[in-house]
Structure 1
Amino acid sequence: MSATRVFVARLAGCSVFDPAGDKVGRVRDVIVVYRSKEAPRVIGFVVEVPGRRHIFLSIGRVTSIGSGQIITTGLINLRRFEQRGGEVRVIAEVLGRRVTLVDGSGTAVIEDVAIENNAQGDWAVSDLFIRRPKTSPSPFAKGQTQFAKWADVRERFTGEAQSATQLLATYEDLLPADLANALLDLPEARMLEVAEEMSDERLADVLEEMPEGEQVDILNQLDDERAADVLDQMQPDDAADLIAQLSDERGEALLDLMQPEEAEDVRMLLLYAPDTAGGLMTTEPIIVSADATVAEGLALIRRHELAPALGAAVCVTLPPYEPPTGRFLGMVHFQRMLRYPPNERLGTLLDQRLEPVKVRASAAEVARTLASYNLVSVPVVDDNHRLVGVVTIDDVLDYLLPDDWRSHDDEAPVAPTDTSTSRPFTRPIATTVGRRQPNGQTR
């Protein structure tokens, strides 16, 4: 091994490579098992591989740890990681845990854990980086930190979980889809606890990436006012899909508590069948007048919070400019805007070949339109040719891909079993996954 002592918090997110230098994935956690008289022994890592699947990497298959990377022998278990009895996840379960010092000097919180390679070649917990309670009432004060050996502390309660705030701090750099995947790997009670600690905006982003069943479980844990605030932060089509899973009584109560403009969009989407353009669309496209300039159009699609598919084109309509708008005139793709001077009027750049789809068009028809014209979004109009929304490519993928893609593992050839862990090993391969299907049906 290239290092003899490593801090677990520094391992989170570091890259895992095979002997040829090809990247296998990223470390998401360290797995240990407790021992009666010795410090916990490291048995492996939770590694996120392509497809956002979490797998187990045995410590016996690691040849080097250090310099922000882990090198493996090249044999990796591709089965989805499932935590076994007696196994403890250091980042998810130990960091943030409160302990009592055996010398009687008080309590502390574990902020980091050092693992060390001993003379026998085994990895085990060596030191704890702990923080004492603060002694000053100042909100800016922090408790004193120190190192301690595992034998110097005692857990206050067996199996006591770390604070949800501490766990969220380790997930701070994850994209919403990756964070959703990480939460789904936690026990249900723990997942709900962490979800309650998130900000409304962060939780909304994560819920959009979760299966409907877990979405409902989390929303049911929130009081009505908090749930409505989270729904306000979600995309209207995702909020409508989620509300459709709830009882009529609670759904209506949450709609009443939402911001009026957001609730109006959701109510409109709930009117359409889930397998139609109206059921798939989002009601928040970029809408401009024919007199708007290229400079104005480009400024609108530069917004940081705008999804790439929605920023691929702007919709030109007659007033009013909120769905349902005045008569739909056409779309202008951003690539075409880049070819013209900033003062050019968008009304002169309309794509005359593209016909919008009707709000009750089937999902199959929408998919054919996107595929036929190589589009990432298609406008949706009502019977009066007013723009009511756009369907983006990810909306169609949500509908077409299987409901259970998150729990689906692609088949992979199995290599000989590693008898030290009783886990079969295979060479790492990428997996193909999709997104959930917003079809308004309960799993």
Structure 2
Amino acid sequence: MAAGAPRIFVSHLAGVPAFDPTGDQVGRVRDLVVMLRVGRRPPRLLGLVVELSTRRRVFLPMTRVTGVESGQVITTGVVNVRRFEQRPTERLVFGELLDRRVQLVETGEEVTVLDLAVQQLPARRDWEIDRVFVRKGKKGTFRRARGETLTVEWSQVTGFSLEEHGQGAESLLATFEQLRPADLANVLHHLSAKRRAEVAAALDDDRLADVLEELPEDDQIEILGKLKEERAADILEAMDPDDAADLLAELPEPDKERLLSLMEPADAAEMRRLMSYEEHTAGGLMTTEPIVLRPDATVADALARVRNPDLSPALAAQVYVCRPPDETPTGKYLGTVHFQRLLRDPPYTLVSSLVSDDDLQPLDPDATLPVIAGFFATYDMVAAPVVDEAGSLLGAVTVDDVLDHMLPEDWRETEFHLDEGDPKEKEQTVGKGAGIHGA
């Protein structure tokens, strides 16, 4: 549903069919999965529980929902058929929130929840429950059947939200929900192994993947080893390909092969391709998911791709123009178009007419780390294409990947972000109330 689309009441989603882009029915919606937050902030809608024709119930993330309209749900067509398992921080809307007794904040009057409304946030892929449809009157009485009904904002009722005290992973995650992945990784690093495993189990797949990318290698291996193998494979698929390949390369061969066998074939093939390169080379550092456009794409097409909120700033800084296929490894690499240039030209302009850096020799997959760093420093680059002997784009190296490998091995454990005062004192301040130091 596009930004600004109307609100949808969840009762209208019960049992509606879910279709893939070709029009084939995937299953039917049986519930919605949300994550409650501390205080009166609206819950985040994580995804849908979809029942397949085999009666198996699977989880469909909202990031894979492209449309909710006319009594149907449209998906990207990529559905993980692993059986849905509810996590500690998750709540089922139909199973746990409807018919619940809550209180109106203003009057303290008890009301019954009849329905909830969801809406997609503007310019983002996040969804929230922002309205509650309630009925006044005591539960189980005749008055309840005829009581006044009203729709109120989520913040106007209480009785849903998480308590702010306690040792549970729910409270800790809600407290640190707004942290960047690197900062949440720092929190996890300083927890006990037991507490770290509890928090990792409670995080959703995309969030855990982002956090794993920022953790020291030992922590990555430890956390991955405590997850069920099917979920560990899902997490690796959600990580940036280069980071996932680096992590897989550190695992014992039997574990590595077992996880690869559980991944989607295309993702597993991508991992194997990345692991075939030496670690400190352009091939070993590159991501295989840069923005690739065909020569007949327009500036409008390029800007639409750049807007993807899942892209890092370095990857969103330029697009790579190549002949088909437009997924790595591509056809002939033609050149790069930088974001600033895209902003200066009309939307209908073809990107092939804007290519620059075609006079720069792209990185060879076997280029070493000093060569890559010199290239970035000489030409003031934040990302650079990696091209093979046949002229095909293999991927792109970003400046953050270069820094990761040039800094000391323990740099992630250094609290560089604490710029004033005693770091230990600040760590205790950060952890206060979140149950960290009692872990």
In the other structure, the counterpart of 1:397 is 403
Q: Distance in 1 between matches of 2:339 and 2:253?
A: 41
Amino acid in structure 1 at the alignment position of 2:370:
A
In the other structure, the counterpart of 1:342 is 347
Which of 237, 248, 263 is the matching residue for 1:258? 263
Amino acid in structure 2 at the alignment position of 1:394:
D
When residues 344 and 226 of structure 1 are mapped into structure 2, their CA distance, relative to the original with a 3 A threshold, is same
When residues 189 and 226 of structure 1 are mapped into structure 2, their CA distance, relative to the original with a 3 A threshold, is same
Give the C-alpha shift of residue 403 in structure 1. 0.7
Amino acid in structure 2 at the alignment position of 1:170:
T
Give the C-alpha shift of residue 199 in structure 1. 0.7
Amino acid in structure 2 at the alignment position of 1:173:
Q
How many residues of Structure 1 are paired with residues of Structure 2 in the alignment?
272
Query: Relative contact order (C-alpha < 8 Å, sep 6+): which is higher?
Result: 1
Give the C-alpha shift of residue 178 in structure 1. 1.2
In the other structure, the counterpart of 2:116 is none
Judge which range, 361-370 or 387-396, deviates more. 361-370
Give the C-alpha shift of residue 225 in structure 1. 0.3
In the other structure, the counterpart of 2:389 is 383
In the other structure, the counterpart of 1:364 is 370
Judge which range, 289-298 or 205-214, deviates more. 289-298
Which of 305, 311, 318 is the matching residue for 1:313? 318
In the other structure, the counterpart of 2:79 is none
Q: How does 1:16-55 map to 2 (within 5 A)?
A: none
In the other structure, the counterpart of 1:164 is 169
Give the C-alpha shift of residue 353 in structure 1. 3.1
State the percentage of identical aligned residues.
Answer: 49
Give the C-alpha shift of residue 138 in structure 1. 6.9
In the other structure, the counterpart of 1:141 is 100
Q: How does 1:85-164 map to 2 (within 5 A)?
A: 141=100, 162-164=167-169
Q: Is the 8 A contact 2:241 2:287 kept in 1?
A: yes
Which of 300, 306, 329 is the matching residue for 1:324? 329
Which of 213, 221, 233 is the matching residue for 2:238? 233
In the other structure, the counterpart of 2:145 is none
In the other structure, the counterpart of 1:36 is none
In the other structure, the counterpart of 1:6 is none
When residues 246 and 142 of structure 1 are mapped into structure 2, their CA distance, relative to the original with a 3 A threshold, is farther
Q: Distance in 2 between matches of 1:165 and 1:137?
A: 16
In the other structure, the counterpart of 2:181 is 176
Secondary structure in 2 aligned to 1:379? strand
In the other structure, the counterpart of 2:290 is 285
Q: Distance in 2 between matches of 1:142 and 1:402?
A: 54
In the other structure, the counterpart of 2:64 is none
Does residue 1:407 correspond to 2:407, yes or no?
Answer: no
Q: Distance in 1 between matches of 2:99 and 2:198?
A: 26
In the other structure, the counterpart of 1:48 is none
What's the C-alpha RMSD, in Å, of the aligned pairs? 2.9
Question: Over residues 101-149 of structure 1, what are the superposed CA-to-partner deviations in whole Å (9 max), with x where a residue is unaligned?
Answer: xxxxxxxxxxxxxxxxxxxxxxxxxxxxxxxxxxx987653699xxxxx
When residues 247 and 348 of structure 1 are mapped into structure 2, their CA distance, relative to the original with a 3 A threshold, is same
When residues 281 and 425 of structure 1 are mapped into structure 2, their CA distance, relative to the original with a 3 A threshold, is closer
Give the C-alpha shift of residue 256 in structure 1. 1.1
Q: Distance in 1 between matches of 2:387 and 2:317?
A: 18
When residues 381 and 425 of structure 1 are mapped into structure 2, their CA distance, relative to the original with a 3 A threshold, is closer
Question: Over residues 11-38 of structure 1, what are the superposed CA-to-partner deviations in whole Å (9 max), with x where a residue is unaligned?
Answer: xxxxxxxxxxxxxxxxxxxxxxxxxxxx
Q: Distance in 2 between matches of 1:316 and 1:406?
A: 35
Q: Give the structure with the larger helix fraction.
A: 2
Q: Distance in 1 between matches of 2:253 and 2:290?
A: 28
In the other structure, the counterpart of 1:223 is 228
In the other structure, the counterpart of 1:45 is none
Runs of 4+ in 1 over 4 A off after TM superposition: 136-140, 423-426
Give the C-alpha shift of residue 371 in structure 1. 0.9
Q: Distance in 1 between matches of 2:96 and 2:360?
A: 65
Amino acid in structure 2 at the alignment position of 1:376:
V
Give the C-alpha shift of residue 198 in structure 1. 0.9
Q: Distance in 1 between matches of 2:201 and 2:266?
A: 25
Which of 218, 221, 235 is the matching residue for 1:213? 218
Amino acid in structure 2 at the alignment position of 1:364:
P
Question: Over residues 313-352 of structure 1, what are the superposed CA-to-partner deviations in whole Å (9 max), with x where a residue is unaligned?
Answer: 1001111111111111111111111111111111111113
When residues 425 and 303 of structure 1 are mapped into structure 2, their CA distance, relative to the original with a 3 A threshold, is closer
Q: Distance in 2 between matches of 1:425 and 1:385?
A: 54
Q: TM-score, normalised to structure 1's length?
A: 0.57
When residues 363 and 187 of structure 1 are mapped into structure 2, their CA distance, relative to the original with a 3 A threshold, is same
When residues 350 and 243 of structure 1 are mapped into structure 2, their CA distance, relative to the original with a 3 A threshold, is same
Amino acid in structure 2 at the alignment position of 1:244:
A
In the other structure, the counterpart of 2:431 is none
Amino acid in structure 2 at the alignment position of 1:380:
V
Amino acid in structure 2 at the alignment position of 1:256:
S
Unmatched tracts of structure 1, length 5 or more: 1-8, 11-135, 145-159, 418-422, 427-443
Q: Distance in 1 between matches of 2:329 and 2:391?
A: 9
Q: Distance in 2 between matches of 1:299 and 1:138?
A: 37
Amino acid in structure 2 at the alignment position of 1:171:
F
When residues 257 and 425 of structure 1 are mapped into structure 2, their CA distance, relative to the original with a 3 A threshold, is closer
